[in-house]
Each structure stands twice: as structure tokens, then as C-alpha cells.
Amino acid sequence: MTTGGGRRSGWLDRLRVLLRPGSTGRAAAVVTLVVTLLLSSAYVLGRSLIPDRPRHDAGVARDMDNAHYADQPPVEPSGSPDGAGPSEAGQDGASGDGADDSLFGAHVSTGDARVALTFDDGPDPQYTPQVLAALREYGVRATFCVVGEMAQDHPDLIQAIVADGHTLCNHSWNHDVALGKRSADAIRADLLRTNQAIRAAAPAAPIVWYRQPGGAWTYPVVSVAHGLGMTPLHWNVDPADWEAPGATKITSTVLAQVGPGSIVLMHDAGGSRQGTVDALYRILPALTSRFELEALPTDTT
């Protein structure tokens, strides 16, 4: 192979011939040869200054996929919120399955194969009697988490709940979602006031469960409830009936999510609950054919 030095020697020899006296077209040839020689030398010099480029036979697609650009930070995997806590102020619901520390040990399961239906925010003179009638028709006992001021206003409904064999649960005096952030003395006074209203209507009724409004559990509210002989009660099935989505939606959610040990959250007060009442006539026959439905026990703390 001819080297760059050899090519330059050949061009110089031809240049000497052209420069001899008598050569035709001497001036034009000289200019052409000089320009060509300079361009050729520049090309050879430039090639010698370029480093060898590494080969990328494999892994190109991988490198492109993992490319990181200065103006494009890496995408971090997004986690799912655990969801514990209220969905809307003043309502209970959508607080997740309870598999996190935000529940402070509140029960999310019956502990066995039985399923527990729970009804919050009552008693209500329009909807609680309808809920009781549906439960009575299918021979199902449930747990009613009652609000103190509602119990005080409707003692006859507290008595009706107890007469049908249902369990009572303390649900605070006036559904204060922020109750758990108050002092221990304030929490204790609220829960005691609610228990007193319940016992004024049904003196012999056990009250061994407490449900925090909104599912907004804190250590102080759990500690106070335990100190008063009540076990914190959460849930793991929430059809969001407090949003009044209609009987069809309530029914489909409950039937899709319920399983052995489920605690189902529903409402018999706090707004229009006709959808819940109507859904019960679809839910109860389906659930009773698959599970044993029972009120939460009154002999545990």
C-alpha cells in the first residue's frame, strides 16, 4: 500500500517534469498539482488524527432505553397510597384494607369466616327502620355504630336495634373526624357522653366497640377507647354508599369485594340512604347464600 510520504514523492517528481523549460500548459498544471497535493495531504493528516471508534454490535437498544437526559430526570416508580383515613370530611369510607400502621391496631376483620355488616351515623328516623326491616326479613344481625346526639334524639331506635339482637358501637358524639387530634381528656369526655346517651335508651346494652369518624385513627383515640373497654373497629369493604352512588353500584361493590372475615361499611344515616336500603334487598340474599352473617360479638374487648 502506498503511504502518504510515497504519494507526496510521486507528485513532486511530476511537478519537476512540468517545470522543465518547454513544457506546455506549465502554469495551469502547476496550479492544479499544487492544489491537489495540498488537499490530499490535508485529508491524510485529518484521518490520522481521528481515534478509532468502538464497535457497538449489541446492546444498542438497551443503551437507548436506559438513556438519561439532563433535562429529563429518571422516572421513579409510583407507589399506591395506602388510603387510610377519611375520603371526605364528616364521612367514613375509602380508607383501604387496613394493612398499615395508620390504623393503630383497629380491627379490619372478624377474625374468622363470618362476615359482619356495619351501619354508621344513625339512628335515623327515616332509614334506620328500613334497614332493620331488611335485616329482619333475611334473619341477619348486624352492628350499628351510632352517633351520640342521634342516640339522644331517637332513643326508641336504639331500643329497636337492641331488641332485634344487633350490636351497638360508639361512633363519637357528633361525628367529629378530628376527634383523634384532641387531648385525651377531650376524647374521653366525647366517648363517655356518647355511651351515656346509648345507655339512657338501653341500659343493659353492651358497648364494646368504637369506630372513629372518617377512619381517622390516632394513638390517643385508640388508647382512650381501650381504656374505656372498647375495641377500635375499622372495615375492609367500603361501597362508598355515603356518596349515594345508587343501589346497583353499592350492590356490585359489596358482592365483588366481600370475603371470609370481611367487615362491610355502610350507612343508615348522614344523608339520603335509600340506595343503601334498596341495595340490601339484593346484597342480603346473595351474601346469606355464601357466608354466615353475624353481628360483632359483645363479649370481647
As a whole number of angstroms, the distance between CA 106 and CA 230 comes to 11
Contact partners, residue 8, CB within 8 Å, separation at least 6: 37, 41
Contact at 8 Å (CB) between 114 and 101? Answer: no
Q: What amino acid positions are annotated as catalytic residues?
A: 120, 267
* CA separation, residue 113 to residues 200, 271, 291, 298 (Å): 34, 32, 8, 18
Q: Angle at CA 151, nearest 5°, toward 146 and 154? A: 130
As a whole number of angstroms, the distance between CA 196 and CA 173 comes to 10
Contact at 8 Å (CB) between 14 and 33? Answer: yes
Task: State the Cα torsion 165-170-176-177 to the nearest 10°.
Answer: -90
Contact at 8 Å (CB) between 178 and 186? Answer: no
As a whole number of angstroms, the distance between CA 146 and CA 209 comes to 11
Q: Within 10 A of 143 (CB to CB), how many other CB atoms are there?
A: 25
Name the grid cell of 291: 357466608
Angle between helices 247-257 and 274-288 (to 10 degrees): 30
